[in-house]
Amino acid sequence: MARIPIIKNNRRLVVGIGSALVDILIHENDEFLEKTGAVKGGMTLVDYTWIERTLAMGSGRATVVAGGSAGNTTVGVGKLGGQARFVGKCGTDQWGRQYENDLRKQNVDPALLRSDSPTGRVLSIITPDAQRTMFTYLGASAETRPEEITAGSFTDAAVVHIEGYLLFNPDLIQAALIAAKKAGALISLDLASFTVVEQSLVLLKKLVADYVDILIANEDEARAFSGHADEKLALSALSEKANIAVLKVGPRGSRISHAGKTIHIQSMGDGTAIDTTGAGDLWAAGFLFGLVNGYPLEKCGRLGSACGYEVCQAIGANIPDGGWKRIKRFL
């Protein structure tokens, strides 16, 4: 398949916009997860006290790292040596300062808005099958106002990558989409979670049809979006709405559809995982890094697969240095 001739003026910058969130990771069994009443693999909005109570019930020690879906993606681009910027809002507290410092250390320009509210956080419960179920307190990240996002937020961007969680704020995601188009960028949307898709389906389909160039989904999200359990039908429905459509199917790899053709990308490794936190975010990082650097789609997909595999061999969304060395063999 040919390279994608749609990046303007040789731009290379990937800008992510989303929730600036601190990740809190705990390992628990299925019985513990059932007590929360959540669907495994989904995302539920909660208040901060709920997270505190649930942590108090836990049996193990928590791991705390900087996170957020689009934030993870931009960090991945930065670690690959690419140009990356993150747009989001966090608090003026210790967690907000740490979040900004972490972005800078990983070659990401932190275009952060500030609030007096606490920095948002996500409690991820990781079960023995390596699946993670998320409970999110948005905090300051939920206070981003549509008028704060302008074309200037995305100056020089080749791609603006939007996390699907912004669908919970329809005015904000629409402002981001309009601003990205005014800035002359391609728009990439990661559907984020099947619960997000189910709760925002009508709005989501309209926005994808009107604005989105690159649509990224896993099998659960694609099923919720398309109504099809069959992967070929689901991918076809995604590709009707976007120039490039990606369907990720875990250990069976991924499928990339563009211009009526489909490429199958094999997964890395044997399918084992320690923790799937950030797998989709880092897949997007590798794919978008390849795209803005003019790689053929197949190579973009292989790079995404390598990033997704390596992050599953670690706790949280931070790939160790050894993993990045292995990934860079694909460059």
pLDDT tens per residue, range 318-330: 899 999 999 999 8
Q: How many CB atoms lie within 10 A of CB 116?
A: 9
Condensed to tens digits (0 to 9), the pLDDT of residues 111-159 reads 999 999 999 999 999 999 988 899 999 999 999 999 999 999 999 999 9
Assigned domain for 71 exists: yes
Residues contacting 35, CB < 8 A, separation 6+: 57
Q: What mean pLDDT is predicted for residues 294-307?
A: 96
Assigned domain for 149 exists: yes
Contact 247, 221 (CB under 8 A): no
- pLDDT at position 3 is 44
Residues contacting 46, CB < 8 A, separation 6+: 123, 135, 136, 137
Assign 6 a pLDDT band (cuts: 50, 70, 90). Answer: low
Assigned domain for 300 exists: yes
Residue with tokens 């197949």: 298
* Boundaries of domain holding 102: 10-21+67-121+142-326
Contact 296, 254 (CB under 8 A): no
Closest CA to 67 of 57, 58, 80, 76: 76
SS3 185: coil
Q: What mean pLDDT is predicted for residues 51-59?
A: 90
Contact 166, 173 (CB under 8 A): yes
**Number of domains into which the chain is organized:** 1
- Domain CATH number, residue 308: 3.40.1190.20
Assigned domain for 242 exists: yes
Q: Give the Cα separation of 289 and 278 in Å (integer).
A: 16
Q: Tell me the pairing of strands 120-126 and 43-45.
A: unpaired
Does residue 4 have a pLDDT over 80? no
Q: Give the Cα separation of 234 and 211 in Å (integer).
A: 20
Assigned domain for 32 exists: no
- pLDDT at position 207 is 97
Assigned domain for 14 exists: yes
Closest CA to 136 of 46, 70, 205, 218: 46
Please name the amino acid found at residue 283.
Answer: W
Assigned domain for 108 exists: yes
Contact 217, 248 (CB under 8 A): yes
Q: How many CB atoms lie within 10 A of CB 60?
A: 11
Q: Give the Cα separation of 7 and 153 in Å (integer).
A: 18
Please name every residue paired with 13 in a beta bridge, in sequence order, or none if there are none.
83, 157
Residues contacting 225, CB < 8 A, separation 6+: 191, 197, 201, 204, 205, 217, 234, 237, 238
Assigned domain for 27 exists: no
Q: How many CB atoms lie within 10 A of CB 184?
A: 15
Contact 253, 279 (CB under 8 A): no
Contact 309, 273 (CB under 8 A): no
Q: How many residues can be counted in the chain? A: 331
CA distance readout (Å), 101 to 59, 98, 104, 114, 171 = 31, 5, 5, 14, 29
Q: What mean pLDDT is predicted for residues 63-82?
A: 93
Closest CA to 78 of 99, 102, 112, 97: 102
Q: What mean pLDDT is predicted for residues 240-261?
A: 94
Average pLDDT, the chain: 93
Does residue 315 have a pLDDT over 90? no
